[in-house]
C-alpha cells in the first residue's frame, strides 16, 4: 500500500473534474485520480450544446434562462442555484472560448447558438436560440479543450486509478475529510491519498438501465462510496429518459436534431407532438416528449414489426445542413442502423440518459451531511452531484453548463479550503475496507456471475423504473434488487491476477449499481406524485402540498448488521418563482 499526500484530490477527469482541476492546480497542490484517461470521459459524448443567454443571435437574458430551468425541473429546482447557473453561464461559455474551444460561428464571427428543448424567450412564449455548440460534438470539444488546458497548467493526473472509498475521520465530534482509497488498474496496488480537500466529479450512474446513452463505465462509483460512508443521496428517483436514443441500442441522437428542425412521427407519419405540446411541439421538455412517445407506442401507433419505436424524421432538412450541424449523429445512424438519414427516417426510442439526483451539495460545491451542514473538506460537482439545478428534470444543454459552472466553483472552493486547513489524521486501517472487498472477490468461489446479475438488474430497471412507474412496478423492482443483492454476495470472478484486472473491477462496479438502483427504486416508491422525470401512473399529478421537497436517502446499518434505507426530506429553495402548471 502506498500513501500520498496532496492539498486537493479530484476524483474524475470529465468536464467537471478537469474544470475543477484547472482552478485548483493554480491554487493548491492537486492530484486528479481518474479511472479513465481524461479524454475517454463521457463528457466527450455530449452532442447538442451548452446553454448561455449570450443573446448572440436573438434577444435573450439570464433571467429567462433561470425561469426555463426552474420550470423545466418542475419546480423542484433550488432557485438560488438556478440563478447562479444561468448568470454564470455567460462567463463560463466565454471562458471556454478563450481557452480555445472551437464553437460554431455566426456570420459576424460570434459564437453561434441554436434551439433546444425547454429553452424559451420571455417565459415560454416561443423557442429561443440559447445553446452554444460545435456541430454535434460540443461535449467532445469541451473535453478536449479542458484537457488541453490541463496540459497547459501542468495538472497532475493518476490515470486508470479507481477510487473505491472515501475516508472520513471524526475530529471533535465532527466528520471531516481525510482522503480517498484508490486501486491502480495496471498493478492492482492500493493507494491511499491523504488530502485536505476532496472533490468528487465521477459522473453518472446510468448503467443500471439496459437501454441507455451512458458509457459502460458510468457506474456511480462516487455516489456509492459517499452513500456507504453514511452521506445522503438526494433525489435519486429523478432520472431522465432522453426521447431519442437509437432504437434498442440507446446511443443518443441529440435533441439538437429537433432543434435543427427534425420531427418525430408515428407509424402513420403523424407529427404527434402537436397533440401533446401545441407550442413547443417536438421541443417540449424531455420528460414530456418521452412520455408522448411511449403513449404512441402503447396505443398501437409505434413503428416496425413490433410497433416498439417511432421515427426521427430529418429527411426534409437539406443534406448540407445535416453535414454541417449534425455530422456525427447522422453517421451513427449509418454505422449502427445502416440507415441514410438524408432519405430515411431513423428509428428511435427513449433512452436512460441523466441522473438528476446525486450527492447533495450547496452552491459552493460543499457536500452536505444532512439538510444543511457541509462535511468540511468534501466537495462534489457534475453529474455525480445534486446542487440542485435540475430538479425533477434537466433541460438539454444545462449539464455541460453545470459541469463548467459548478466544476469551477468546487475547484476554487476546495483549493481555498485546503489553503487554510490541515491534513486530517487517517482513520485506523484506512485501506481495510477496499482490501477486504478485493480479497474477498478474488478468493470467492461462489457460483453467481457478474454478467447475469447485471443483466437482471438492467432488465428490472427498464421494466419497472423507466418512463412509467406504479406502486406495483416499483415494489417489484425493490424486491428484485433485494434478491440480486443477496445473489451478489455469492459472485466470483475468473481473473485472479493483479494486472489490469477489469474482471474484478466490473464486479465492484456492479456492487455500486445495485446499491444505487435500490436507492432509486425506494425513493421513487415513496414519492406518490408525478413530477418531471418521475411519472407515477397511480399518482399522475404533481402534489406540491406533500412533495414539493427533495428526497434525502441515507444508508442505515442496524446493530445486527442489517442494512436499510432511511428517507428524509429537504425543503426546496424558492426565491421569486411560484410553482405553476407546466405546459409546453
Partner 1 sequence: MGTATLEKNDSAGPVDSAENSATHLITVVLRIRRFNPEVAEESSWQDFTLKIDAKERVLDALHQIKWEQDGTLTFRRSCAHGICGSDAMRINGRNRLACKTLLKDINPEKPITVEPIKGLAVLKDLVVDMEPFFQAYRDVMPFLVTSGNEPTRERLQSAADRERFDDTTKCILCAACTSSCPVFWNDGQYFGPAAIVGAHRFIFDSRDEAGEQRLEILNDRDGVWRCRTTFNCTDACPRGIEVTKAIQEVKRALITRRF
Ligand X SMILES: Cc1cc2nc3c(=O)[nH]c(=O)nc-3n(C[C@H](O)[C@H](O)[C@H](O)COP(=O)(O)OP(=O)(O)OC[C@H]3O[C@@H](n4cnc5c(N)ncnc54)[C@H](O)[C@@H]3O)c2cc1C
Binding residues for substrate: 242, 254, 353, 394
Alpha helix ranges (H) inside 421-470: 432-443, 450-464
Distance of CA 149 to the CA centre of its chain: 23
**Nearest residue (CB) to ligand X, 12 versus 376:** 12
The secondary structure of 495-531 as a DSSP string is ---STT-HHHHHHHHHHHHHHHHHHHHHHHHH--S-B
CB neighbour burial string for 462-495, b if at least 16 within 10 angstroms, e if fewer: bebbbbbbeeebbebbbebbeebbebbeebbbee
**Nearest residue (CB) to partner 1, 28 versus 41:** 41
For residue 364, the minimal CB distance to partner 1 (Å) is: 25
For residue 442, the minimal CB distance to ligand X (Å) is: 18
- Which residue among 114, 129, 286, 408 is the active-site one? 286
Question: How many Cβ atoms from other residues are within 10 Å of residue 99's Cβ?
Answer: 15
Provide φ and ψ at 191, rounded to 5°. -125, 135
Residue 243, binding choice from partner 1, ligand X, none, Cβ under 5 to 8 Å by partner class? none
Total of residues contacting ligand X (CB under 6 A): 45
Cα–Cα distance, 11 to 225 (Å, whole number): 12
- Please tell me what DSSP assigns to residue 373: P
- Exactly one of 28, 214, 223, 393 binds ligand X (CB under 6 A); which one? 214
24 touching ligand X, by CB under 6 A: no
Cα–Cα distance, 326 to 348 (Å, whole number): 16
**Nearest residue (CB) to partner 1, 110 versus 485:** 110
Cα–Cα distance, 182 to 188 (Å, whole number): 10
361 touching ligand X, by CB under 6 A: no
16 touching ligand X, by CB under 6 A: yes
- Exactly one of 6, 25, 31, 48 binds ligand X (CB under 6 A); which one? 48
Q: Give me the residues that bind partner 1 (CB under 8 A), please.
A: 36-37, 39-42, 44-45, 93-94, 97-100, 102-111, 134, 137, 140-141, 144, 148-149, 151-152, 186, 215-217, 248, 251, 303-306, 308, 328, 332, 335-339, 347, 449-451, 493-495, 497-503
For residue 216, the minimal CB distance to partner 1 (Å) is: 6
Say which residues have a Cβ less than 8 Å from residue 300's Cβ, sequence separation at least 6.
307
**From 5-13, 22-30, 227-235, 365-373, span contacting ligand X (CB under 6 A):** 5-13
**Nearest residue (CB) to ligand X, 45 versus 573:** 45
Q: Which residues are annotated as a binding site?
A: 12-17, 34-49, 221, 242, 254, 353, 383, 394, 399-400
> 239-246 and 263-265: which strand pairing?
unpaired
Asked about 286 being catalytic, the answer comes back as: yes
Residue 11, binding choice from ligand X, partner 1, none, Cβ under 5 to 8 Å by partner class? ligand X
Give the 3-state secondary structure percentages of the chain, helix then strand then coil, rounded to 5. Answer: 35, 25, 40
- Exactly one of 66, 113, 399, 431 binds ligand X (CB under 6 A); which one? 399
Q: For residue 385, give the C-alpha cell.
A: 452531484
Cα–Cα distance, 72 to 127 (Å, whole number): 13
Catalytic residues: 286
Chain contacts with ligand X (rule: CB under 6 A): 11-17, 33-36, 41-43, 45-50, 138-139, 162-163, 201-204, 213-214, 218, 221, 252, 254, 354, 382-384, 396-401, 403
Amino acid at each position: 500500500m502506498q500513501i500520498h499526500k496532496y492539498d486537493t484530490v479530484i476524483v474524475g477527469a470529465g468536464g467537471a473534474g478537469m474544470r475543477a482541476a484547472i482552478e485548483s492546480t493554480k491554487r493548491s497542490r492537486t492530484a486528479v485520480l481518474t479511472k479513465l484517461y481524461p479524454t475517454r470521459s463521457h463528457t466527450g459524448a455530449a452532442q447538442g450544446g451548452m446553454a448561455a443567454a449570450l443573446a448572440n443571435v436573438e434577444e435573450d437574458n439570464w433571467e429567462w434562462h433561470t425561469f426555463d430551468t426552474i420550470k423545466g425541473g418542475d419546480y423542484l429546482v433550488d432557485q438560488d442555484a438556478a440563478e447562479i447557473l444561468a448568470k454564470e453561464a455567460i462567463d463560463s461559455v466565454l471562458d471556454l472560448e478563450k481557452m480555445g474551444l472551437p464553437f460554431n460561428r455566426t456570420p459576424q464571427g460570434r459564437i453561434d447558438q441554436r434551439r433546444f428543448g425547454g429553452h424559451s424567450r420571455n417565459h415560454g412564449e416561443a423557442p429561443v436560440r440559447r445553446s452554444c455548440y460545435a456541430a454535434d460534438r460540443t461535449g467532445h470539444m469541451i473535453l478536449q479543450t479542458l484537457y488541453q488546458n490541463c496540459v497547459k497548467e501542468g495538472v497532475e493526473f493518476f490515470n486508470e486509478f479507481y477510487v473505491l472509498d472515501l475516508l472520513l475521520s471524526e475530529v471533535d465530534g465532527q466528520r471531516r475529510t481525510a482522503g480517498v482509497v484508490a486501486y491502480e488498474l495496471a498493478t492492482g496496488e492500493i493507494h491511499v491519498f491523504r488530502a485536505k480537500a476532496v472533490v468528487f466529479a465521477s459522473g453518472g450512474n446510468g448503467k443500471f438501465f439496459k437501454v441507455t446513452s451512458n458509457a459502460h463505465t458510468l457506474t456511480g462509483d462516487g455516489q456509492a462510496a459517499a452513500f456507504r460512508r453514511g452521506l445522503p443521496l438526494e433525489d435519486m428517483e429523478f432520472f431522465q429518459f432522453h426521447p431519442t436514443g437509437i432504437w434498442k441500442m440507446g446511443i443518443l441522437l441529440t435533441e439538437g436534431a429537433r432543434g435543427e428542425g427534425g420531427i418525430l412521427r408515428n407509424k402513420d407519419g403523424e407529427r404527434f407532438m402537436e397533440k401533446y405540446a401545441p407550442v413547443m411541439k417536438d421541443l417540449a421538455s424531455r420528460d414530456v416528449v418521452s412520455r408522448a412517445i411511449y403513449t404512441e407506442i402503447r396505443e398501437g401507433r409505434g413503428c416496425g414489426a413490433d410497433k416498439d419505436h417511432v421515427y426521427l424524421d430529418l429527411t426534409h432538412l437539406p443534406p448540407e445542413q445535416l453535414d454541417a450541424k449534425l455530422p456525427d449523429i447522422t453517421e451513427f445512424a449509418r454505422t449502427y442502423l445502416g440507415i441514410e438519414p438524408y432519405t430515411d427516417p431513423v428509428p428511435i426510442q427513449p433512452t436512460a440518459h441523466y441522473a438528476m439526483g446525486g450527492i447533495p451539495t450547496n452552491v459552493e460545491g460543499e457536500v452536505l451531511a444532512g439538510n444543511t451542514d457541509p462535511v468540511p473538506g468534501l466537495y462534489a460537482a457534475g453529474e455525480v452531484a445534486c446542487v440542485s439545478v435540475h430538479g425533477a428534470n434537466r433541460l438539454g444543454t444545462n449539464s455541460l453548463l453545470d459541469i463548467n459552472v459548478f466544476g469551477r466553483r468546487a475547484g476554487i472552493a476546495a483549493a481555498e479550503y485546503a489553503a487554510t486547513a490541515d491534513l486530517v489524521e487517517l482513520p485506523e486501517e484506512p485501506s481495510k475496507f477496499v482490501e477486504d472487498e478485493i480479497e474477498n472477490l478474488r478468493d470467492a468461489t461462489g457460483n453467481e456471475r457478474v454478467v447475469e446479475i447485471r443483466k437482471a438488474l438492467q432488465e428490472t430497471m427498464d421494466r419497472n423504473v423507466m418512463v412509467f412507474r406504479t406502486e406495483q412496478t416499483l415494489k417489484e423492482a425493490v424486491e428484485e434488487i433485494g434478491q440480486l443483492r443477496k445473489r451478489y454476495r455469492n459472485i466470483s470472478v475468473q481473473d485472479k491476477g493483479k494486472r489490469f484486472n477489469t474482471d474484478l473491477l466490473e464486479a465492484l462496479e456492479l456492487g455500486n449499481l445495485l446499491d444505487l438502483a435500490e436507492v432509486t427504486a425506494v425513493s421513487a416508491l415513496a414519492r406518490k406524485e408525478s413530477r418531471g422525470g418521475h411519472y407515477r401512473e397511480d399518482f399522475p399529478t404533481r402534489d406540491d402540498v406533500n412533495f414539493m421537497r427533495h428526497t434525502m436517502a441515507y444508508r442505515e446499518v442496524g446493530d445486527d448488521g442489517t442494512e436499510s434505507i432511511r428517507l428524509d426530506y429537504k425543503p426546496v429553495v424558492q426565491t421569486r418563482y411560484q410553482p405553476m402548471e407546466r405546459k409546453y
